[in-house]
Structure 1
Amino acid sequence: MARASKRPCRTLDRPCAGAHARRTVDGVTDLNHPIVLPEAPAAERAAIEAGGVACWEAPLTIDTYEPAEPDRYPLFLERRVYQGSSGKVYPIPFTDRILPGRTPRAWRAIHLENRWIRLVLLPELGGRIHIGYDKTRDFDFFYRNNVIKPALVGLAGPWISGGVEFNWPQHHRPATYLPVDTRIERDEDGSVTVWHSDLDPLQRMRGTHGIRLRGDSALIELEARLVNRTDVSQTFLWWANVAAHAHDRYQSFFPTDVRYVADHARRAITAFPAADRPYYGVDYPALAAERPGADRIDVYANIPVPTSYMITDTADDFFGGYDHRAGAGFVHWADRAIAPGKKQWTWGDGDVGHAWDRHLTDGDGPYVELMAGVFTDNQPDFSWLLPGETRTFRQYWYPIQDIGPAVQATLDAAIGLEVDGCRVRLGVATTAEHTAVHVVLQRGDAPVREWTPAIGPGGPFVAELELESPASRDDLTVVVSLGDRELVAWRAHPAPAGEPWVATEPPAPGEIESADELVLTGLHLVQYRHPTRAAEPYFAEAVARDPGDSRARLALARLAWDRGELEVVLDHLDRAVERLTRRNLNPERGDMHLLRGLAFERLGRLGDAAAAFGKAAWDGALALPAALGRARLAMRTGDTAGALSFAGAAVRADPASGQAIAARVIALRALGRDAAASDALAAARAADPLDPLLAALDDALAPADPRTLLTMAHELHRLGDAERAIGLSRRAAESAPGPFGNPGPLAGYALAAFLDDAGDGEGARAARADARRADPRLAFPSGLDDLGVLDAALAADPSDARANGYLGCWLLDAGRVHDAIVALEASITGGVGDPVVWRNAAVALVNTGGDPVAADARYARAIELAPDDARLVYERDQLSAVRGARPEDRLPAIERSGAGALVRDDLAIEYAGLLVDVDRPDDALAFLGDREFQPFEGGEGRVIAAFDRASAALARRLMAADPAAARDLLTSGIRVPEHLGEGRHPADPVAERFVLLGDAELACGERDAAEAAWRRARDVHGPLAAGTRVVDDRDAWVGVAHVRLGEHDDAERVWASLDARAAELEASADRVDYFATSLPELLLFSIDTAERRADDARRLREAAARGRLLSTANVEEARA
C-alpha cells in the first residue's frame, strides 16, 4: 500500500489548533488566551496565491508578564557559573524578578509566509522566531507559547521559551530579551529575507541573522554573519535553539550512526538512544528492567529530571523531532563540517520540570529544546574570532509529515524508514513540489519495489509493504531521485568504534610538568570562559619557570589588556618579542605586534604604534586590523593620503568589512573626494544596510540599542571623523536609563574628550559638567574607550566625584579591586550622593580583605540614600553573615526594613531561615505559606530547603503535645506547594521530614506507618537517585533512620561518611565543581573559604558524633 497525501493549506486569521490549552491550579481552570494571527494584507495575500512569499509587519497582541525594573546596581559575578561557562553579566543591567499578573501587550512582529509555512518573528525579543506553523497540517512544528512569560533563565535574568532563539556569542544570547535592528529584503528571485542585527552587549561584536523563505520551497533558511569588530581576538559560540512541544509520544531523532551522547563539557557520556549507564543521576538500565523502553532518552516522557545531551560524532548533517501524536515534525540541516552541534535539552517529565512549565507558560505545556550548534559541538565549547574576522554560515529547517522520525535528510527531502521483521513502512517528504520522483527500495543489491509518486510539502509519499523474509533497517537501501539528481538516499553506514573521550579536570599549575601543558590549560580556561578556575596562574607558573616563554607572555598581555593595564601589556610583549626574534626577526604570527600597536596607540606613542602595526601586517591573517590601525594613525597625524592607502589595503583584505570601507570613506572625504566617498558608501550601504558604522557615516544611525551611538562615536573618532563622533556622542548623552543600560554620562565624558581633542576647551568643560549632572542610573562603564574618557575627565579635574565613581565601577569589573577602592573612596570624599558608589565601595572593601565594619558603614550610608532598596538590605545582611552576626541580630535589621524589602526571593529565603533560627518556625511557615517564588535556573531547591526546615522545626515543637498535628504538617509538605515555585528533585534527600514523620506516627501509636516512613527516609538511593552526591549534614538524618530501624551497621556507614567528608574539607581546597553547569548564586563577596570549610567540617563531625551517641543509646535501650 502506498499513498501520497495532500491536505489543503489553511488560512491563519484564527488561533492554531490546540492553542486553547487549559491548566488547573488549586482547582481553578485557566484558559490560556491563544495568539490570533492577523490576516495578510491583500497585496501580500496575492503574492502567496501567485506562488510567492508574503512579508509584512503588523503588531501581535500577546498576554505578557513583564520583568521588573532592572537592578540599579552593577553586578560583578566573575564566579557565577552559567551554562558551564562564566555568568559574568556586567555591563548589562540585571533583572531578578518577574512581575505578577499578565496583561495584553502589542509586540512588534514581522510575518513571513508562503504556501506551506508561516513564521512570526519578534524583533523586540532578540529577533527570535516565535511561531513556526505548518499550514498544510495546522501544526506548530516549533513550540508556540501563547503567552510571553519570562522566567529567570537568561544571563541577565528574563528568558522565554518557545520558537527559535539564536544564541551567541554565548549560550542563551545575553541580549535574548533585548530588541534588535531589522530590515526586510526582497530579492529578485522572489525570496524574502528578514534581517536582524545588533552589537552583543558584552563584547560589542556584531551578529546578523536573516530568516529567508522562498516561494517554491518549504525550507526555512537562516543566514548568519558574525563579525568581530573589536581590536583583539574574541571567543564565541552559536546555537540555534529550537523548542518543540513535548508529550509522551514526542521523539527526538538524530543520525542513525550516533551511538553516544555527552553532557556539558563532556563531563559524562552515555549510549544513545538507549542509555546504558546512570546519566544525570538516573539509572536508566534499572528503569528499563522494570519497564522496557524506559532507557530511550530520545523520548521526552522517559526523562524524569532536567537533562542535556549532545552528540559526540556523526557523518550526517541532519537531526530533528517528530510528534507521533500529530504525525508531523521538523528536520534541521546544516553542513556538519562547520555545524557539528546537535543537542537535546529538557526540564524533564517530573516535578522539577513541571514547576518550570508553570513558570514559562500558562497552559501550553512542556517542550524539548533541539539545538543546532555552529562552530561548536558542546556547551561550553567556544571558537575564536580574529579581530576584524567575519564568519558566515547557513542553517535550514523544514516541516515533515507522516513519515516518522527521519533516518536520512538533505535540503531536498527526508526519509523515514521503520522495519519490524517482514514489515516495512517507508516515508518520503520533500521541500519542493515534484510531479514524479523515483523511489527505489532495495535489499542488498536486489530491488524490492519502485514507485514514481507526485510529492511536495504537506503531501509526503508513504508506503507499507511486507518483505519475503525478516530484515533489519540496515539491510535496506532507499534512493529518491529526480531525473539524474539524487534527492536523498538511506544507506546504513557504520558508527565510530569505541567510546568517545570524557573530559577531566586539569591539575593545579604546580602539578603540571610541562610548560606547554601549562599554557594550553590556561588557554583552554580563557577560551571556554571558565567561571571557577583562573587562567592567569597557569601562565604565571610557565613564566616563573621560563621568564621568556613567549606564549605565556602573550597570554598574560591579553589579560592585562582586558584590565586596561597598558604598560603591563607592553612589558609582557617586550619579553615575548625578545624571545621570538632572538633567532628569527620574522615570526610566523604577528599577534604580539598587533597588540603592541594597539597599546602604543592608546598610550599616544604613535610612532611606535605605526611600526608595530606595520610589522603585524606581515601576518596575512591580521592584514585587516593592521591596515586599519595604520589608517587610524595616518588620519590622526594628518596624513590623509596615507590613510587612504592603508584603508585601501584594509578593503583588499576584506572587501565586505564595514570598518575598512568606513576608513576609506573618511579618508576620501578628508581629501575632498566627496563623490567617490558617496559612491563607496552607497554601495556598501546597499550591501549591508544594518551596518551601524556605515549608517553613522550616512547620518542615518537610529539603533535600538542607544549604547551603539556611543560605540560608533568612539570608532568614528579613532578613524578620524571627529565631527560625526561629536554629534553621535551628543545624541548618546541624551539617552535615558533603559534595558540596555545608560550610556548618557559616559557619552558626556566622551563628548568632553572629543571637544578637548578638537581644541574646544570651553565646550569640553561644559560637557563634563553635563556629564556630572546626568542621571547615573544603570551607567555601567565598560571597555577601554570608556576607561580612556574617564582618565581624561580625571586628568582635567581630579576632584570629579562622578568620574571617580564610574572609574571605580569600571575597575571593579576589571578585577582591579585595590585600584577600585582608591577611586571609590575619592568619589565618596568628593561628596557623591549616589548609593551605587557607596555600595560598590563596600563590595570592594570586603573583596580585598578590608575592614568589614567600614564596609558595613558604607552599606548603612547607601541605605540612607536609598531607604527602600531591597538589594542593599539583602547585601548588608549577607555581609552580616560573613561577619558572623547572630540570627538574633540579623533578623531585626531585616524586619526594620519593612515588608517591601522581602520582595526579593533571596532575602525572603534568608528571612525564613532566620525565623527558624530564633525558634519562630510557625512565623516562617506562615510567611512561606502565601508567597510566590521565582527560582533561577539551576538554583532550585533553596526554597524547598527553607520550607522543609521550617516544617521540621514546627513539627518537633508539636510532637509532644499533638503528634497528630505534627504528622499532618509533615505529610502535607511531602508534595511541595506550587506557589513555592520549585519541584522536588528525586536525588535530593528528604530524610529529616520522613524521620520526623515516622516519629509522629509512632507517637500516634502507628508502628507500621512509622517504620514505613523511616524506610522512606533511609532509602535515598534508587533508579532516580543513582548519581554520586557530595555528603552534607542532611545525610545525618539517613543515619538516624537506620538507627530507628535498628540497622546500626548501616548507620555507622553514614557516620563514617560524614567524618570522611569532614576530613576532605580539612585537608584540601573545597572548590566549586570544575564541571558545574549552572550555579546561579550571585556570589557577591570573596569570603574566606578556608574558614567556611572549617565550619562545614565541624558541623559534619558534630553530626557524626551525635549519630553515634544515638546509635549507642538505641542499642542499650534494645538490650534493656
Structure 2
Amino acid sequence: MSDRTSHIRLPAPPPAEQALLDDGGVACWEEDVEIDTYEPGAPDRFPMFFDHRVYQGSDGRVYPLPFVDRIETEPVRRTWKAIHLENRWVRLMLLPEIGGRIHIGYDKTRDYDFFYRNNVIKPALVGLGGPWISGGVEFNWPQHHRPGTYLPVDVHVERGDDGSATVWHSDLDPLQRMRGTHGVRLRPDSSTIEVEAKLFNRTDEPQTFLWWANVAAAVHEEYQSFFPTDVRYVADHARRAITAFPRADRPYYGVDYPELAAHDADADRLDVYSHIPVPTSYMVTETADEFFGGYDHRAGAGFVHWADRDIAPGKKQWTWGNGPIGHAWDRQLTDGDGPYVELMAGVFTDNQPDFSYLLPGETRSFSQFWYPIQDVGVIHQASRDAALSVRVDGTDVVVGIAPSRPVDAEAVVELEGRIVARAQFRAEPGSPYSLSAAVPPGTTRDDLVVTVHEGGRELVTWRRHAPIDGEPWAATEPPAAASLDSIDELLLTAQHLVQYRHPTRAAEPYLRRALELDPDDSRAHLALAELALVRGSYDDALGHVEDAARRLTRRNLNPRTGELHYRRGLVLERLGDLEEAARSFAKAGWDGAFAVAARLGLARVLLRLGRNEQAEAAAARAVELDAANTTAIAALVLARRRLGAAEAAASVLDAARAADPLDPFLAALAGDLGLRDPRTALTIAQDFARHGEVESSLEWAARSELAGPTVFGNTGPVAGYTRALVLDRAGRAAEAVEAREAARRANRDLAFPAGLDDLDALTAAIAAGETAGEPDTVALGLLGSLLLGVRRHEEARDVLVAAVLGGSDDPVVLRNAAVAVANTGGDLDLADGFLAQAFRADGPVPSARLVYERDQLARLRGIDGAARLAAIESSGVDVFRRDDLTIAVLGLLLDVDRVEEARAILASRRFQPFEGGEGLVIAAFDRATLVTARRLLDVDPAAAAALLEAAVDVPENLGEGRHPADPAAELLVLAGDAHLATGAVESAEARWRAARDAGGPLAVAPRPARPDDFWIGAAHLRLGEYPEADAVWAALDASALALEDAYPTPDYFATSLPETLLFAVDDARGRTAAAAELREAASRGRALSAERAEVRA
C-alpha cells in the first residue's frame, strides 16, 4: 500500500462542452485521466484448466482467458482513457479500458460521490481471470464477475434528438462469445443515469446468462441500505439459507444475530454495514416494488435504483464485513478510500447463481435507472420520477420528496381517507421538498397514503403493501443420479446443473441414468447431443440426434418443436454435409421458436453451396422475423452482394450500422473493424468462412494472425490454421500448405484455442500432417489445450502425448501432457517426467508456475518435504513472485525445522490472496509462531506470551484477516499456558475461555470436527469442563468415521472454492491420512483427559 494520498482530478469540460452545460444540456467528451495504478502482473503463459474451481457459486473455469495471479505491490502513475458525462446535477466518469464501468458518480448539488469513488486503480485477485477493482458500477454478465471485467471494450458516443448523450460500450464475452452492449445515458432535464443494455446471443447454441449491475457505495456507521418495505426475508447465494430482514432472526453466515442483539439492540440489523462482522451477501426473495438504494445519514445524501420488476427482480447487498477480514480486503482494494458495500441490481435474475437462457440469435434489451437523493433519509417508495420518505414521530409526520427532474407538483397526505395535509411545491434534483403535518397519537406509516402528482400524472405514491405471507423456500441438494427413478426429475436436475453452470456436479450422469430407464428417451438424447456438440464431439452428437429422431418421428414426422432438426443441421454443417444440413435447417424453420436461428443456418450453408438466391430469401426472412439480429443482417448483405445488388446491400448495411455501430460483423462488412481484440477479428474471419466468403475470411484471419500476444490471448497460430482450412476448402492446396507452415512458425505465447471453429481448423491441420507423413506437433499441442478446456481429458491426453512423441519441445505442450496424464488416472511418474522435460525446455530458469505445479505433483507422488524443498531451491526461480509457491515453501521450511527462515519471509513479504482462498498464509504464520513460542515457553514464558498475543491479530502484510470461525484455538491455549507460567492466572483463564468459545456468536454455523478442535477440548480441560472435552473427542472420532465411510464431495452450495491446482488425482492416501489425523487427535485428547483425571484423583 502506498503512503501517498491519491486523488483523481476530474478535468474541466472543453469549451464546446462547457457551452452545452451552460445552456442546460449534457456535456460528453473523451479526455484521459491520470490515476495511481497497481498494475496486474503479466498473464501466465500456461493455460489454466480449473475444472474444480467454484466461482461465485458457479463454474470457475477460466480457459481460454489468460490468467493473472499477481498484482504489483507499488503503484505507478498511469494514464487511462476516460469518457466524461455531465449535466447540471450529475457528473460521471467512465473507464472503457476496464470493462466499460462507471468509475465515478458525483452529485454536483451536494459535492458527494453517490457511487464509491476509488482514487486508485488497485486490483485484487477477485475476478474470474484474476484482476478486479472496486468502486463505481461494474456491469456483470454473462456471469459474475464479468469475465472481461479488466479488459477494454469498444466505445461509441450517441447524441439524441432530446439532447441526451449515451456512451455505448460493447464487446464479445471472452468465454461464450456472446455480445454485450451497454449504454450509459444522461438527459439534460434529469439527474437520472439510465443504463440501457442489449445482450445478443450470436452463437448457434442456447446460452445461459445473468446480468447484475454492481454498484459500490462508500460506507460507515451511519450509512444505511434500504429495500422495499415489504421485504421480509433475504436469501444467501443459491438460496442455501434465508433470514428475516432487516433484523436477522436466526444465525446467518455463521453469525448469531439474535444473540448479538440481546446485548446490543441494533446488532441484528443487516441494512447497516457496521453491524455485519463477516463477508456477507443477501438477496431479496420477494417484493412488489421496483426500487432500492442507500443513504448516507452523515452526508444527507444517497441514491435510488429503479427498474421494472417484471424483468428486474434482483436486489442484493454484499459486504466484506466490518471485521478483520473486511478490513484486510479494504487494504487490498484501495489505499485510502475505506470500506464499501455493493448494492447490486439484477435483471432476469434474483440470485447468484441464477441464470436465464438466451436462445440462438436472441437479443434481450432493458434499462436500469439510478439517481441521487438528498436530505430525505431512507426511502420508502420510489419511481423513475421521484423518491419518497415517510417518517412518523409521535404526532408528526414528515414527508420527504426527492425528484429526479424539476417538478411542479402537489403532495397529498391521507389518513383513513381523510386529507391531513396538501401542498403545492416546486422541487428539483438537489432541492428536495419536505412536508410536515400533525397526525393522531399512535399513527404509523402504514396508516397513511401519500400521493405526489404533477398535473394529472402520478409521480410516486406511498401506501402500505399487503404482507407477503409465509417464509420463502430454501434450496436443497438434488439426490445423486443413481438414486432417482423418475425420468422427469433426472431431466430437470440435468437441466438445472447446465443452466446454473454447476461447478462440481455434471449433468451427464443424470441424462445417462434417464437412458438406463428408457434407452430411447428423446429428451435425454437431445440434451446429450447438445453437450457433445458444444465440446466438438460431432459423431457422438449425431448419434444422439439420430437416436432422438427414432422416438420423435416414430408416429409424427413433424415434431412439436424444431429442436431435433435444428440440432441435426448444426451437426451436419460441422461434419461438412451441407446439403443435408440445409434440409434440416429448412425443416427446423417451420417452428417459430427456431425460425430465425434455423433460417440463418440455412442462409449460411446455402451461401457456402453457392445457392445465393435461396440464401438471400432465407436471410431476408430471418431479418424480417428479427430486425435486431445483426448476424442475419450480415448474411443478407453478403447474399445481396453476391447477387450484384450492391445498392440494396449497402442500404441494409448502412441502416443496420446506424442502429448498431459497434457490431463487429457489420463493422467488418463496412471495412471499419479495429483490432482492439484480435480474438474478435478471428471470430469474424470464421464467420465469413461459415458464410462461404473466402477472401474476406482470409483477410480477417491474416489481420488476427499478425496481432501476437495481448491481454485477450494470442490468435496467431489458430488464425494461420484457419487460413489453411479456408484455402483447402477453396481448392488452393499450395497456399494452404504455406499457411500451415506460417502457423507453425507463429509465436505461441498465450495461444489458447477454443470453440468449434478453432477445433475444425486444428483437426484439419492434423489430418493434413498425417496425410503428408509429418505430424503437425504444433496443431496437436494446441488441440490438446482445447480438449482439456472442454474436459475431453482422455482425448487430450492422447493428442498431447502424440505431440510429445512427435518431437514437440514446447514447455506448454509438455506441461499440458503432464496435466492430462495425471488427471486421467495415469502414471504420476510419467506425468512428472513430462514436467521435467518442460523444465528443461523452458530455459535456464523454469517458470515459477511450473515449479509450483511440479511440487504439487511431488506431494501427490509422496515425495518427502526435504526433497521437495531441495528441488524448489535448486530450480533457480524467484520463489517470492508467487503466493502459492511461497506458501508451499513456508510449509516445507517448517517441515524441515527451518523456522526462522519461514518467520523472516512471513514478516517481510506482502501476500495477495484470492477471494475465498484466505487462510493458507495465516495457517503458515500460526504454525511458525507456535513452534517459536513452544521453544520460548520454558525459558522465557513472558516472551512466549507476548509473541502469541501479538499473533492473534494477523499482520497486515499477510493480506488477510482472521475469520471468527477460525478461532486460532491452539494459539489461545498456548497463550494461556504462557500467562499461567508467568503467574497471570486470570489472563490464562481468559485465553482458555476464548479458545473454548471458538468464535462465540460470530461462528455458530455447524461444521464437521477438525483436527485442531483438539485445542478446544484442551481448553475445556484446562477450565475443568471434562464432559465438554469428552464431547470434542467424540466429535473428532465421528468426523474420522464419516471420512472413512463416504467419498468426500465438495459442498453442493459452495460459493467460492478458488482451487487453482490442476491435478485432480483421487488422493485416497490423503483421505486415509486425514481420517487418521482426526483419530489421532481424539486419542491424544482422551489421553489428556485421563491425565487430568489422575491429577484430580
Same fold (TM over 0.5): yes
1:485 correspondence with 2:457: yes
Per-residue CA deviation, residues 514-570 of structure 1 (Å, 9 max, x unaligned), is 110011001100000000111110111001111111111111111111221111001
Answer yes or no: is the 8 Å Cα contact 1:250–1:321 preserved in 2. Answer: yes
**Which consecutive unaligned segments of at least 5 residues does structure 1 have?**
1-24
1:976 counterpart letter in structure 2: V
Q: Which residue number corresponds to residue 848 of structure 2?
A: 870
Matching residue within 585, 596, 599 for 1:627: 599
Q: 1:896 aligns with which of 855, 871, 874?
A: 874
TM-score, normalised with respect to structure 2: 0.98
Select 2:1056's aligned residue among 1057, 1067, 1078. 1078
Q: Which amino acid aligns with 1:77?
A: F
Residue in 2 that maps onto 1:365: 338
Q: Tell me whether 1:761 sits opposite 2:737 in the alignment.
A: no
Q: Map 1:909-920 to 2 at 5 A.
A: 909-920=887-898
Q: Does residue 398 of the first structure (1) align with residue 362 of the second (2)?
A: no
C-alpha separation between the residues in 1 aligned to 2:966 and 2:280?
Answer: 16
Counterparts of 2:1055 and 2:436, CA distance in 1: 45
Superposed, 1:197-236 pairs within 5 Å as 197-236=170-209
Give the drift of 1:30: 3.4
- State the match for 1:73 in structure 2: 46
Q: 2:401·2:432 contact (CA, 8 Å) conserved in 1?
A: yes
3-state SS of the aligned residue for 2:426?
coil
Aligned position for 2:110? 137
Partner of 2:291: 318
Are positions 1:751 and 2:723 aligned together?
yes
Moved more, 902-911 or 169-178: 902-911
Shift of 1:897: 2.4
Distance 1:396 1:699 in 2: 35
Structure 1 match to 2:417: 445
> Judging changes above 3 Å, is the alpha-carbon distance between structure 1 residues 1063 and 884 closer, same or farther for their aligned structure 2 residues?
same
Residue matched to 1:809:
785
Do the aligned residues in 2 keep the contact of 1:989 with 1:1035 (CA within 8 Å)?
no
Whole-angstrom distance in 2 between the partners of 1:1089 and 1:822: 23
Structure 2 counterpart SS, 1:693: helix
Tell me how large the CA RMSD over aligned residues is: 1.2
2:805 matched residue in structure 1: 829
Of 243-252 and 830-839, deviating more is 830-839
Partner residue, 2:243:
270
Distance, in Å, in 2 between the alignment partners of 1:465 and 1:481 is 18
Map 1:375-414 onto structure 2 (within 5 A).
375-414=348-387
Number of the residue aligned with 2:133: 160
1:703, distance to aligned residue in structure 2 (A): 4.2
> In the superposition, relative to structure 1, how do residues 632 and 899 fare at CA in structure 2: closer, same or farther (>3 Å)?
closer
**How big is the shift at 1:1015?**
1.7
Does the CA contact (< 8 Å) of 1:692 and 1:703 recur in 2?
Answer: no
Q: What residue is the counterpart of 2:312 in the other structure?
A: 339
1:783 to 755, 758, 772: 755
| Alpha-carbon spacing, 1:101–1:440, altered in 2? closer, same or farther (3 Å) | same
Structure 2: distance between partners of 1:378 and 1:338: 13
Residue of structure 2 in register with 1:1102 after alignment: 1080
Query: For the residues of structure 1 that align with 2:1059 and 2:394, how far apart are their CA atoms?
Result: 53
Q: Distance in 1 between matches of 2:111 and 2:995?
A: 49
Measured after TM superposition, the shift of residue 865 of structure 1 is: 2.0
Deviation at 1:494, TM superposition (A): 1.4
| 1:208-251 Cα shifts (integer Å, max 9, x gaps) | 00011110111111111000000110000000000000000111
* Partner Cα distance (1:1005, 1:372) in 2: 57
Aligned to 2:448: 476
3-state SS of the aligned residue for 1:354? Answer: helix
Matched residue, 1:128? 101
Match of 1:15 in 2: none
Q: Give the match's secondary structure for 2:602.
A: helix
In 2: Cα distance, 1:141 partner to 1:440 partner: 29
CA distance in 2, matches of 1:198, 1:144: 25
Q: Which residue of the other structure, out of 446, 463, 471, is the alignment partner of 1:499?
A: 471
Matched with 1:966 is 944
Question: Does the 8 Å contact 1:963/1:1001 carry over to 2?
Answer: yes
Give the paired residue count.
1091
Q: For 1:892 and 1:1090, locate their aligned partners in 2 and report how far apart those are by CA, in whole Å.
A: 26
Partner of 2:1046: 1068
Tell me which residue corresponds to 1:22. none
> Retained in 1: the 8 A contact 2:58–2:500?
yes
Whether contact under 8 Å (2:453, 2:459) holds in the other structure is yes
State the secondary structure of the residue aligned to 1:437. Answer: strand
Instruction: Write the distance in 1 (CA, Å) between the matches of 2:984 and 2:645.
Output: 97
**Paired residue type of 1:921:** V
Whether 2:276 is the aligned partner of 1:303: answer yes
User: How far apart in 2 are the matches of 1:313 and 1:486?
Assistant: 25
Q: Which residue number in structure 2 is paired with residue 1059 of structure 1?
A: 1037
Cα deviation code 1:880-903 (max 9, x no counterpart):
111111112111111222460232
| Matching residue's letter, 1:59 | D
Q: In the aligned structure 1, how far is the partner of 2:1069 from the partner of 2:513?
A: 27
CA contact (8 A) 1:955 1:966 kept: yes
- Deviation of 1:1059 after TM superposition, in Å, equals 0.5
Preserved contact between residue 989 and residue 1034 of structure 1 (Cα < 8 Å): no
Partner of 1:17: none
Structure 2 unaligned residues grouped into runs of 5+: none
Aligned to 2:886: 908
Give me the whole-angstrom Cα distance separating, in 1, the residues matched to 2:938 and 2:117.
54
What is the DSSP-based 3-state SS (H/G/I as helix, E as strand, rest coil) of the residue aligned with 1:471?
Answer: coil
The answer (yes or no) to whether the contact 1:192–1:213 under 8 Å persists in 2 is: yes
Distance 1:130 1:338 in 2: 26
Q: Is 1:943 matched with 2:921?
A: yes
What is the distance in 2 between the residues matched to 1:513 and 1:752?
50
Give 1:853-864 correspondences, 5 Å limit. Answer: 853-864=829-840
CA contact (8 A) 1:597 1:612 kept: yes
* Structure 1 residue 772 corresponds to structure 2 residue 722: no
Once residues 455 and 1028 of structure 1 are traced to their aligned partners in structure 2, the CA distance between those partners, rounded to angstroms, is: 53
Q: Secondary structure at the match of 2:171?
A: strand
Q: 2:681 aligns with which of 700, 703, 709?
A: 709
* In 2: Cα distance, 1:313 partner to 1:1016 partner: 40
Deviations 1:9-53 (A, max 9, x none): xxxxxxxxxxxxxxxx8xxx9342211100001111111111111
- In 1, Cα distance between the equivalents of 2:919 and 2:711? 29
- The match for 1:956 is 934
Superposition deviation, residue 588 in structure 1: 1.8
CA shift at 1:584, angstroms?
Answer: 2.1
Q: Secondary structure at the match of 1:124?
A: coil
Q: What do residues 357-401 of structure 1 show as CA deviations (whole Å, max 9, x unaligned)? A: 000000000000000000000000000010000100010000111
Residue matched to 1:117: 90
Partner-residue secondary structure (3-state), 1:973: helix
Question: What TM-score do you get using the length of structure 1 for normalisation?
Answer: 0.96
In the alignment, the residues of structure 1 paired with residue 546 and residue 733 of structure 2 have an alpha-carbon distance, to the nearest angstrom, of 37
What residue number does 1:613 align with?
A: 585
1:290 aligned counterpart, secondary structure: coil
Query: What amino acid is the match of 2:31?
Result: A
Q: Is the CA contact (8 Å cut-off) linking 1:318 and 1:410 kept in structure 2?
A: yes
Contact 1:175 1:201 survives alignment (8 Å):
yes
1:143-182 alignment, distance < 5 Å: 143-182=116-155
Letter in 1 for 2:806: G
In the alignment, is residue 1092 of structure 1 matched against residue 1065 of structure 2?
no
Moved more, 900-909 or 579-588: 579-588
* Aligned residues of 1:255 and 1:407 also touching (Cα < 8 A): yes
Is the aligned partner of 1:645 residue 2:639?
Answer: no
2:846–2:877 CA contact under 8 A, matched in 1: no
Residue 826 of structure 2, aligned match among 850, 855, 865: 850
The worse-fitting range, judged by mean Cα deviation, of 315-324 and 698-707 is 698-707
What amino acid does structure 1 have at the position aligned with 2:357?
Answer: W
SS in 1 for 2:442: strand
Matched-pair contact (CA < 8 Å) for 2:319–2:340: yes
User: How far 1:292 sits from its partner (Å)?
Assistant: 0.7
CA distance in structure 2 between the aligned counterparts of 1:1001 and 1:869, rounded to whole angstroms: 47
User: Residue 818 of structure 2 contacts residue 832 of structure 2 at CA under 8 Å; is this kept in 1?
Assistant: yes
Alpha-carbon contact 1:402-1:462 (below 8 Å) kept: no
